[in-house]
Amino acid sequence: MFQKVLVANRGEIAVRVIRACRELGIRTVAVYSEADRDALHVKLADEAQYIGPAPSRESYLSVPAIITAAQATGADAVHPGYGFLAENAFFAEACEKWGLTFIGPRPDAIRQMGDKNQARELMRKAGVPVVPGSEGTVRSVDDALAVARQIGFPVLVKAAGGGGGRGIRIARSAEELAQAMERAASEAGAAFGTTDVYIEKYVEVARHIEVQVLGDAHGNIIHLGERECSLQRRRQKILEEAPAPTLSPEVRERIRQAGVAAARAVGYSNAGTVEFLYDESTGQFYFIEMNTRIQVEHPVTEMITSVDLVKEQIRVAAGQRLRLSQEDVQLRGAAIECRITAEDPDNRLLPSTGTVTAYEPPGGPWTRVDGMLYPGFKVMPHYDSLVGKLIVWGEDRSEAIARMERALGEFRIEGIRTSIPLHQRILASPEFREGRFHTEWLEQFLQLK
């Protein structure tokens, strides 16, 4: 087992990883930018290293700064969390080069699944359904138009190296296609360093279902059920739950097995998530992408399985075999996660910054808060607006909803505006309570409000 792990991240996920390491008896190193000198993850770690100014490209995205910090503190492994360098194959290779274990999948798996075209082709060969679209990238508007006419409008123009909802545009006609390609390529170039795009059929009324997988270096791969992630705004998830409601037993099993097949196709080791688009009108689902890291929404899976995914990541990276077989995975009850963001729900969800003057998280049975706030902490505009996650478990979905409503009512954060009121509105809606929603539902709901 590792002696010291450097956590190459910030915010609530850095806190989460530090706590898992402490329970395993592993010392931790936090890294921080100028903006995060007083951050909670810095206070909780055994050691902390300054890595640069507030802009992430000069700190949390700086491979040399993080490798230097790991060497200076004698760390023997690096946990990347999610975001920043978590799915950067070059960073994983740099860790290996400098004698550090990267707590995640192998660089080649990251690279294969990070290239959306390559991933789609790999899934086709593995028999995993993929959304109809172009074979590889499209180089011109004429090529894109030929594909779009073959599969039918509307279509999505998607960045080949994308993720996180960026580099994606909808084209509903031939007239919109050229502009969609230009905008998607521009955003992709700025965010991912490549302007390559490909075309996919746009399924207008669909659900976003993802499967949590876990593999080791000895060829063992299992799933830990699926999550419902359809509540999205600007393609960013707001609320997640597990298991996905209203799926038939047959579809549920097929989508879980497709997740395992996808992971097996790439020889996956460590925690990962295979994302699918589910068309309720046809009962068909399609592979979207694989996230080769821990997900923001991993706690809902932990709540229904009693498996600590971060600890399993660490054990697998240390060379241990999975401690579970598929038969050992028992799914019980229902869990919901609300992402608490520093945004104003009464003003178009614009970012909210300032000093936290009061912070009182909810308590009670089966209620969990993964957070980074404390009274006096300054929320600044440099990074993602996520400041915490509220997760609850219930014996069934109805109890989980009731418990989440109670917990949201108890959650007190003052000094900044947060998304808590938005979550209260979502949970009160008949569509959510009855599981009648899809990936476009939240945008429509917000417009109505």
| Residues carrying an active site annotation | 293
DSSP character string of 63-114: HHHHHHHHHHHT-SEEE--SSTTTT-HHHHHHHHHTT-EESSS-HHHHHHHH
Integer angstrom CA distances of residue 153 from 96, 158, 284, 314: 45, 15, 19, 45
Q: Backbone phi, then psi, for 367, in 5-degree steps?
A: -125, 125
| Closest-CA residue to 270 (of 99, 420, 107) | 107
Q: Shortest CA distance to 87 belongs to which of 289, 262, 256?
A: 289
Look at phi and psi of residue 33 and say left if phi exceeds 0, alpha if psi is from -120 to 50, else beta: beta
Sequence-distant (6+) residues with CB within 8 A of 253 are: none
Instruction: Report the C-alpha gap between 322 and 155 in whole angstroms.
Output: 40
Helices 89-97 and 107-114 pack at an angle, to 10 degrees, of: 170
